[in-house]
Chains A and B, each alone.
Chain A
Amino acid sequence: MPRYVAILASLDTKSEEAAFLREVVEAEGAQPLVVDTGVLGRPGIPADVAREEVARAAGTTLDEIIRRGDKSHALVAMAEGAGRILLRLLAEGQLGGVLSVGGSRGTALGTRVMQALPVGIPKLMVSTMASGPNPFGPYVGTKDVTLMHSVADISGVNSVTRPIFANAARAIAAMSKAGAPVAKGKPRVLAATMLGASTALVEQIRRAMTTPQCEVIAFHAVGTGGRAMEELVAQGLMDGVFDVSPTELLAHLVGGPFSAGPDRMRAAGERGIPQVVAPGALDFIIEGPPESLPSRYAGRKTMRHTPTITLVRSSPDEMRAVARLIAERLAASRGPAAIVIPLRGFSAFSTEGQPLHDAESDRAFVDAIRNRAPARVEVVEVDAALNDPLVAETAVRLMRDMGCV
């Protein structure tokens, strides 16, 4: 039996578009399921999943939502209901993908539902909002939400929107046959956190660990990447983590735009899988352009990374704070953990002679982690810089010692 392609639409205003999408999806041999997420007005075409049913799935009723008269509440409730219905279909093996079209409200609702689904299930949002100064973050979150710009406003099927909707409908139909939630492609899957400044290290680790039985997946530690990794670890996809660029912890403690929130470096400990931690890229705080730097950074070493990114050298106090946080996280871990410390610089930018070199701050981290790391966590100091092969070799050995080969 073909799996459903869910089409999310507010059928009071977007029925013409939904009917067109349904027709194309069906013509492609996929099974459309029109879910009405609208609240006001009357549906222009019959839904496969009625708005009343969506409201009920959210634990409320359509009448109650209308009575409250709060548009934002209605959006959240209908997204919640639609999300639960799709997760149920997914659990039954009946969901192939999700397609939605909308303006600002439709996009907020559609992508909220999509973000509730696992990576790998195709998610396609055709939107007026996928343009201009709008940021990706709210619509994409940590998932593989795909956004297609509608170019014209979404008000009817016309010479501009017809080819775009047709592309979207055929794309989701094709993806629904190919797509599936992420699953292990090899017996052993390891995660690694990475930044430009630690890419060389991660590449060496990846090369050393990659075998027909094992693969390493890198996550860009700029907020989204760390959160995506935590989620995939929590889902059970990973067998071990090389958390060698835990810079999002520093952002969480100190500042800068790239925090991954308060829950970084928790999931591996909770799952009890092995972790190798290194202070990679903890030698700097990632901030915006120079003119935006908070005054508390006055007098620090800084480095212009791109026109919009400035790296600010982390202080001894900040190093101690982040060392404490790492020690706490590892103490709470149910699984084994080890730490490798490169004594000659935590990134390519702070080795001797480089702009962010600061032996005193680095030392503060080493002393604090030595004092506070639980006894069962092996701490290995390496007389080399982060991207030196010695560090990669040590990290790989520690992971293997913990049973991850």
Chain B
Amino acid sequence: MAKKIAIIGTLDTKGPEVAYIRDLIRARGRDTIVIDPGVLGRPTIAADVSREEVARAGGADLASLIAAGDKGRAMQVMIEGTTTILARLYAEGEVGGAIAVGGGQGTAIGATAMQALPIGVPKVMVSTIASGRNVFEPYVGTTDMTLMHSVADILGVNAVTRRVFGNAAAAVVAMADANEAVQDSGKVAIGVTMLGLTTPCVLRAKERLEAWGYEIVGFHANGTGGRCLERLVREGLIQGVMDISTQELTGHVCRGLFDAGPERMTAAAELGLPLVATPAGTDYIVLGPLSSLSEEHKKRPLIVHNPNITLVRTARDEMAEVGRLMARRLNAAKGRAAVLIPMGGFSFSDRPGHAFYDPDADAALVEALEAELNPRVELRKIGAHVNDETFADAVAEKMQAFMEG
């Protein structure tokens, strides 16, 4: 029997909308489970998972939550409860996809809860919030969240929302069908981190590994990409990591914009997957508009990438700190790990005559690695620039050796 579609909506204010979507999904041959994370008012249609159950799963009693009158805490409890229930329904094989509909609160609950589902399992959020100045991050995280702007307010089924809900219901059912039918290629997948200034290296290494029969999955090392890589490694979709562009370690140490948080470069190490790292892209910090920079940063070599992004050369002591962080991550590897250093420069702009050329600062990272790395972790210095073919070939060959060995 086809798995069900979970529908998340606060039934005090969104009852008719949820009922409309539910009926459309059923008409398409999928059964539904309606989850009600509402707190105030009274549900206007029947839920399959009631608000009381949601509150309990979130660790609270609904009646006392209402009596306490703390909106922030109520939200938190209902988010946690919905997340727990959805994850359980998925794990039990009951649910094959989810759709949520809401405004500010409904989107905060629905889009957070759906982030608990693995990549490929449909997550459709129909929302007033998916527009204007609102940003994707809180609603998408590291997932394949699908956000559909409702155009009109979610207040009844009408000429505008009827079309939007109709499309959303069709989409979530079709995606659930697709997800259950999808076949993988049978190839072994290697995750690789990339950035504009290290692209030639990544493309060359990708080409080499693809020729050997591997599948390469690229992640943009802009803070989100690195987190997506870590998540997918943990979900089991990636079997090896070629961490060429480690800019996010600099982002974390130097508080740049491209910070993927404290978990970066941990998943492959913990799971014992082959890991080949390089310091490519650690030589600069990604910061905001030039006018927002500190005086100290303004004195360093910098590149105005666009009006919103300025690249600032990473200083010697910061490079040493990044090297130490990289060493800690690699030392924790339960499987094979290596780090390859392009001694001729770590990014497009880190070479003679270019803005970020600073062999002394780069050396600080290498010295830190040499001082701190376990002997188990191989460190290889290669007399080439990061974007020279010889370096890319060395990285690809090391990766292949790890994967086959």
Contacts and interface: CB of A to CB of B under 8 A. Distances in A.
Interface in B202-227: 206, 215-220, 222-225
Contact of A166 (B140, B178, B225, B228): B178
Contacts of B144: 148-151, 164, 167
Contacts of B206: 155
Interface in A102-156: 119-120, 122, 124, 128-137, 140-153, 155-156
A232 B164 CA distance: 14
A149 B143 contact: yes
A76 B329 CA distance: 45
Contact of A146 (B147, B189, B218): B147
Interface in A155-182: 155-156, 158-164, 166-175, 177-182
Given A130-B136, A158-B217, A184-B159, A136 B232 contact: no
A202 interface: yes
Nearest to B225: A153
B146 A153 contact: no
A385 B190 CA distance: 63
B171 interface: yes
B235 to A, nearest CB: 9
Interface residues of B, number: 73
Contacts of A257: 133
B132 A136 contact: yes
Interface residues of A, number: 81
Given A152-B218, A159-B215, A169-B178, A137 B132 contact: yes
Interface stretch (B44-52, B150-158, B334-342, B392-400): B150-158
A63 interface: no
B82 to A, nearest CB: 20
A222 interface: yes
Contacts of A202: 155
A182 B130 CA distance: 19
A156 B173 CA distance: 25
B320 to A, nearest CB: 28
A140 B131 contact: yes
Interface of A: 24, 28, 119-120, 122, 124, 128-137, 140-153, 155-156, 158-164, 166-175, 177-186, 189, 194, 202-203, 206, 210, 215-220, 222-225, 228-229, 232, 237, 257-258
12 contacts: A120-B167, A131-B142, A132-B223, A136-B149, A144-B149, A146-B146, A149-B144, A152-B218, A175-B167, A185-B158, A218-B155, A225-B128
Given A146-B148, A151-B143, A189-B158, 15 more contacts: A124-B171, A132-B222, A136-B130, A152-B225, A159-B189, A159-B238, A163-B182, A169-B178, A179-B166, A215-B159, A217-B158, A217-B159, A225-B153, A229-B152, A232-B160
